[in-house]
Amino acid sequence: MEAIIVIGLLLFVGALFYLIYHFIRKIKNRERTLSKKIFFPILIGGFLLFIIGVFSNDSDLQNQLNEALEKNQVLTAENEEFKSTNLTLEEANEKLQKEYEELTSKLADFDKMEQELKEQAEAFQKEKEELQAAMAEEKGALEKEVNDLKASNATLNTEVERLKNQVASRSSNSTTSAASTSSNSSSTANASSSGSNVYYKNCSAARAAGVTPLYQGEPGYASHLDRDGDGIACE
């Protein structure tokens, strides 16, 4: 349509130039006449083509404007949709940000709890070590006390055996003195006295004599032969 406008405009301008050219020639030749068959068809044709082209161009512009308006409406709808989507994404982002902050807070609480548990575990371990050290010290003291009591018990057993031997020796001496009036009693007393005076330096001597084991009260029994103090020597 723009081509029709250009053609019409050229024809119209050409008709005007032809009219000017005619007037210039007419100044020199007053008898010259304007050719109506050339001028008016060109002038009217150019004017009509120009008008038709302008109206057609206006119609095309209107169509283009309508298309532009339609595109604008589509773009507006898409823009609204994008705004709605953007709003939804912003809400989702805010929700995720809130969840992230909550998780970060929980993680910080867990880290704090873990640190407290570590400190408690270290305190318990230290207390355990202290208790173990105290128990070991107390156990050592108790073992020492037990050993001291055992030593004291062994000493007491030795003293008791010594006293028993003294009592037995005195009893034997008394029996020997009381039985000296008769020959039978004298023989028995002499045998008893000789038996009570039996002494073995060690268990090897007692075993050599074939009298082991020796029980408390038997001739030859002595506390130095009964090391564990259970009343049986040279077991």
- Please tell me the predicted confidence (pLDDT) of residue 184: 41
Helix axes 2-28, 36-178, angle to 10 degrees: 150
- Please tell me the predicted confidence (pLDDT) of residue 185: 41
- Please tell me the predicted confidence (pLDDT) of residue 174: 47
- Please tell me the predicted confidence (pLDDT) of residue 206: 87
- Please tell me the predicted confidence (pLDDT) of residue 1: 63
- Please tell me the predicted confidence (pLDDT) of residue 187: 41
Query: What does pLDDT average to in each consecutive run of 10 residues of the chain (235 residues)?
Result: 78 82 80 74 83 76 78 90 92 93 91 91 89 87 84 78 71 49 40 59 88 86 86 86
- What pTM was computed for the model? 0.31
Domain residue ranges of the chain, discontinuous segments joined by +: 2-98, 158-233
- Please tell me the predicted confidence (pLDDT) of residue 191: 40
- Please tell me the predicted confidence (pLDDT) of residue 171: 59
